[in-house]
């Protein structure tokens, strides 16, 4: 039985949809992100040309009707490489965010519930990790364990762990003194059950917004690692490696750098706009009181 103080679930979704459609940042970011994801999905079944096929006779062609974005120094179609590179970048960033969230959220919630020594250890460890720039940390890890997409995922994922731990901890600390949490404790529920039933659902919005932001940073990190030769390895295309290969061709084939560079910029911009829009739409202070 519901009361007037609790809105039905479908009303919550309708309210979210209305706010989302009225938010320009969310709409723009969602459209750009959906387009990039669609391109990545299409690349699994179709690309204009085979990205592993070298056609030296067609090398360094400017954009034409046959090759919309031109060709590179090996005669490969740049549009096809950007399409395949999008799925590699998205896969690396998505899995890395998943690693950070899967490990960081439980740690943050545990520290908030235990406080004391556990909380202090988590915070000081986070401070140590944050003392090193994210890309530098990823470079050090991949330099030690070797280049490749798997090690890039691990490196980016490790840096994401303290990020999500801090977000989860901050959100959980704000909830533990609340009346409904005190009522749950009075009913005999343990810290673990309270976390699962009450804390996590109430900090899901924070985690979703942070996940979107970390996703965009993961795209940049993967491109940076591939640029220095520590990320996705050939023959698999990568936006960062495409930029590296184009740096000596700027005077004769600037399209080799412009196209992957714009792909990175547009993707990161879309994800950042989506994150900003989500933060506005999901901000509790802006939500309708039921």
pLDDT of residue 148: 87
**290 has a pLDDT exceeding 70:** no
Judged against a pLDDT cut of 90, whether residue 246 lies above it is answered with yes
pLDDT at 142: 80
Confidence bin at 10 (pLDDT 50/70/90): low
Around Cβ 203, how many Cβ atoms within 10 Å?
24
Distance of CA 277 to the CA centre of its chain: 15
pTM: 0.87
Residue 3: pLDDT over 60:
no
Low-confidence winner among 5-9, 101-105, 176-180, 251-255 (lowest mean pLDDT)? 5-9
Burial 65-82 (b: 16+ CB within 10 A, else e): eebebbbbbebbbbbbbb
The confidence band for 132, taking pLDDT boundaries of 50, 70 and 90, is confident
User: Are 85 and 72 a contacting pair, CB within 8 Å?
Assistant: no
Per-domain residue ranges for the chain? Answer: 19-44+69-284
| Structure tokens given for 200 | 């996590």
Lowest mean pLDDT among 79-93, 97-111, 126-140, 223-237: 126-140
Superfamily (CATH H level) for 19-44+69-284? MetI-like (1.10.3720.10)
Distance of CA 231 to the CA centre of its chain: 16
Bridge partners (DSSP) of residue 77 are: 71
**Per-residue model confidence (pLDDT) at position 285:** 54
Position with higher pLDDT, 233 vs 16: 233
- Could you tell me the CA-to-CA distances from 137 to 218, 224, 264 in Å, in that order? 13, 12, 21
**Residue 77 three-state SS:** strand
Q: In the predicted model, what is the mean pLDDT of residues 47-56?
A: 92
What secondary structure does DSSP assign to 227-257, as a single string? HTTSSSPTTS--HHHHHHHHTTSTTT-THHH
Q: Is the pLDDT of residue 163 over 80?
A: yes
Q: How many CB atoms lie within 10 A of CB 257?
A: 17
pLDDT, averaged across the chain: 88
> By percentage, how much of the chain surpasses pLDDT 70?
93
What's the residue count for the chain? Answer: 290
Candidate from 3-17, 176-190, 246-260 with smallest mean pLDDT: 3-17
pLDDT of residue 18: 84
pLDDT for res 286: 47
Yes or no: say if 165 and 179 are a contact pair by the CB < 8 Å rule. Answer: no
Q: What pLDDT does 115 receive?
A: 86
Residue 11, pLDDT score:
59
């Amino acid at each position: 039985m519901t009361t007037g103080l609790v809105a039905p679930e479908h009303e919550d979704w309708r309210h979210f949809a209305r706010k989302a459609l009225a938010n320009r940042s969310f709409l723009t970011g969602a459209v750009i992100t959906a387009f990039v994801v669609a391109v990545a999905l299409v690349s699994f079944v179709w690309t204009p040309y085979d990205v592993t096929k070298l056609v030296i006779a067609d090398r360094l062609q400017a954009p034409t009707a046959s090759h919309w974005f031109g060709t590179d120094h090996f005669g490969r179609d740049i549009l096809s490489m950007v399409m395949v590179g999008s799925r590699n970048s998205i896969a690396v960033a998505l899995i890395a965010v998943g690693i950070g969230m899967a490990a960081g959220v439980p740690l943050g919630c545990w520290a908030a519930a235990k406080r004391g020594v556990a909380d202090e250890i988590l915070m000081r460890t986070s401070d140590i990790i944050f003392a090193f720039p994210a890309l530098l940390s990823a470079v050090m890890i991949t330099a030690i364990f070797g280049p490749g997409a798997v090690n890039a995922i691990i490196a980016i994922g490790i840096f994401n762990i303290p990020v999500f731990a801090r977000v989860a901890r901050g959100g959980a600390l704000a909830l533990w003194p609340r009346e409904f949490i005190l009522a749950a404790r009075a009913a005999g529920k343990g810290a673990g059950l309270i976390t699962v039933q009450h804390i996590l659902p109430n900090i899901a919005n924070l985690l979703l917004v942070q996940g979107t932001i970390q996703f965009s940073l993961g795209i940049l990190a993967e491109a940076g690692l591939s640029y220095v030769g520590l990320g996705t390895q050939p023959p698999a295309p990568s936006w960062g490696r495409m930029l590296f290969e184009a740096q000596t061709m700027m005077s004769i084939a600037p399209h080799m750098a412009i196209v992957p560079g714009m792909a990175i910029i547009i993707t990161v911009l879309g994800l950042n706009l989506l994150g900003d829009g989500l933060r506005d739409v999901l901000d509790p202070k802006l939500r309708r009181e039921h």
